[in-house]
Amino acid sequence: MSRRALTLLIAGFLVLALGVIGAMQRVPYVVLSPGPTENTIGEVDKKPVISIKDHQTYPTSGALSLVTVAYQGGPSARIDLLTALRGWIDPTVAVVPEETIFAPDRSAQQVEEENTVEMTNSQETATAAALNELKIPFRMIVTVGATQKDRPAEGKLQVGDVIDSVDGKPATNADVVSDTVRAHKPGEAVVFGVTRGSEKHEVSVPTVAGPEGQALVGVEMRSAYKFPFKVDINVGDVGGPSAGLMFSLGILDKLTPGELTGGKKIAGTGTIDEKGQVGPIGGIAQKMVGAKDSGATIFLTPAANCAEAMRAVPEGLRLVRADSLHSAVEALDALRTGQGNVPACEAG
């Protein structure tokens, strides 16, 4: 065998060996890639993404699409080295350390469950933001999320109870309930006025001393909203809070005459609070790729993500800065009519 042939044989063997090692070697990284998009004024599995009952709705057109990020990897399903290397080469995906997605004390299942809870909360908050924008009144309610084992509330308060009052004071939010309970001396009773199903009850619950000596009853509360009509949101397996802005816009579009999009395909992202303020999200680069692939030409971008977005925006996708739900609506009005200001992202 010639020296040249031997060199090629050895090189080929080394490449094969490295390939086998790369395929077997698991690494603590996660690959983030563009996930599916869903039109909030469209349908999923032949069902409307947003359904509104007992209130006038109006026709819509175009798209107001939420965008998502898919991930591959995690503590229980680590990717191999070759997958990570391919990700580092591909400009449309990101390879990040595992701990940026999965906290050391959280399993993949726990992360999924937390994302589901965040999505549910996001939907309620998005509805509240839309109704606030339209000046449609609603109220906040406090419900029993859980009772702690071997604490006084166990067996007296039930999951799902709506706490209407505490010691005769309206329970306008969870802080009012907590502060009223803590104002007692341990051993004193607290009287809760609750709605259970369709019935109202007064429930007396004794207090005990907590770790720092404060009075407590052992109830975990959840704040929720009581809306004057039903808003259902159906997005399948999508999780997390980052679709809040697009949910609010979809609800607004259905509740108001005229078409918010002007027939255009618009995508966007951003968390939202009940006052309509838009917050930052993660995975902006992958979400923009998903938006472009879905046919969107305009991308509503949280102000805090603008600098990052400008460094990775796909060609043909126009970034519109969204500081709040109100400013996003104004921007869409300006895009549709050709009049008014359309706030743009600026390099940071």
**Which sequence positions are flagged as catalytic?**
242, 287
Q: Which amino acid is at 21?
A: I
Q: Angle at CA 136, nearest 5°, toward 133 and 138? A: 110
What is the C-alpha to C-alpha distance for residues 250 and 329, in angstroms, rounded to an integer?
11
Closest CA to 301 of 276, 271, 330, 326: 271
DSSP E strands: which ranges in 90-247? 94-97, 139-147, 162-166, 169-170, 189-196, 199-206, 208-209, 215-216, 219-226, 230-233
Helix (H) or strand (E) segment spanning residue 106: none
CB atoms within 10 A of CB 305: 26
> Which are the contacts of 248, defined by CB distance < 8 A and separation ≥ 6?
126, 127, 129, 130, 133, 272, 276, 325
Whether residue 251 contacts residue 127, with contact meaning beta carbons closer than 8 Å, is answered with yes
Torsion sign across C-alpha atoms 127, 130, 134, 139 = positive
For 82, the token pair is: 């070759």
